[in-house]
Amino acid sequence: MTTQQIKYFLELANLLHFWNTAEKLSISQSTLSRQIQALEEELDLKLLERDKRNVKLTAAGQFLKEHWTITINELDRLHLQAKKIDVGTSGVISLAYPGSISSGFLPQLMRVLTQEMPELKIELTEPTDLNHEKLILDYHIDIAISRDEILNPTIQSKKLYAEPICLVVPKDHWVNAINFTDLKMVENENFIISALHNTTYFSSLLRDVFKQHNVEPKTTIESDFGSVILNLVAQSLGVSILPYAFKSANNKAVRFIELPHTVDLYINWRRHDPNSIIKRIVTCSEALGKEYIS
């Protein structure tokens, strides 16, 4: 039994049509039939019920389809990871990041990495699915730069730096860094923020901040994309609270007023990953992080 035979079976199990499956796999129909027959003989069970017109899975075939699909996907991910490790500094690394660092820390890190490892290809992703832990463990990404530390024994995390969070207001707003005292001053303003009911780290932080200031914000627009929020504040549609990192966007239509609260930035990766490139990226990230607010 080979992985190729299993892949042939899985494709056939999805299409339930020998001719269409053979055409998709770019093999002859007789070759596909022989491979499926050999697989059934080795397993000593029937995977398919077939006649001249119809093909359908047996109960055993359905069971193996469900479980082999998971196994083959995992094998493919492991194979991809092995190829990354094998090619060294000319390989491919997938890195997820929060949008707040896209104007400051991230481009500076990319500049360092392209100088240090010019043959390395870096795949950047800003996932809407914030479960970085699962993305790392499933080999969908190699490194996650995130606002929260991933607490998993198979994942290693290091804090890169901490920075203030800021009240962000339009440039002509009556509140400024000189007269600002606390968030009570803007309690009646329209807030443009991440949804407070979300379970994300930053939403949890916002809930704590508002609670400490005894403020019930009037949220008029909700968004998880800081760049969008920044532009909306610039249009005088409301005020917001964002990490200091967004100041790197150099939006001249807004003002940042630092609050007595901070947010962290972490780098996370598989603890026992043998890929030396990951360790080099972590080292570069730590060195760059020391230059930032902490």
Q: How many domains in the chain?
A: 3
Alpha helical stretches, state H, 3-95: 3-15, 18-25, 29-43, 59-86
149-181 pLDDT, tens digit per residue, is: 999 999 999 999 999 999 999 999 999 999 999
What six digits make up the tokens of 236?
Answer: 């005088």
Residue 138 counted as domain residue: yes
Say whether both 133 and 74 belong to one domain.
no
Predicted confidence at residue 127, as pLDDT, reads 77
Instruction: For residue 192, list its beta bridge partners.
Output: 221
Give the separation between CA 272 and CA 31, rounded to whole angstroms.
42
Residue 29 counted as domain residue: yes
CATH number of the domain where residue 223 is located: 3.40.190.10
Give the separation between CA 260 and CA 57, rounded to whole angstroms.
63
Say whether both 155 and 279 belong to one domain.
yes
274-284 pLDDT, tens digit per residue, is: 888 899 999 99
What six digits make up the tokens of 3?
Answer: 């992985």
Distances in Å between the Cα of 202 and the Cα atoms of 68, 166, 167, 194 are 38, 13, 14, 8
Say whether both 176 and 252 belong to one domain.
yes
Say whether both 137 and 17 belong to one domain.
no
Query: Per-residue pLDDT for 145 more than 90?
Result: yes
Domain of residue 222, residue span = 162-262
Residue 191 counted as domain residue: yes
Give backbone dihedrals phi and psi of 262, rounded to 5 degrees, phi first.
-125, 160
Residue 100 counted as domain residue: yes
Say whether both 251 and 198 belong to one domain.
yes
CB neighbour burial string for 198-237, b if at least 16 within 10 angstroms, e if fewer: eeebbbebbeebbeebebebeeeeeebebbebbbbbbeee
Of 58, 86, 114, the residue that ends a domain is 86
Predicted confidence at residue 87, as pLDDT, reads 55
Where is pLDDT greater, at 143 or 81? Answer: 143
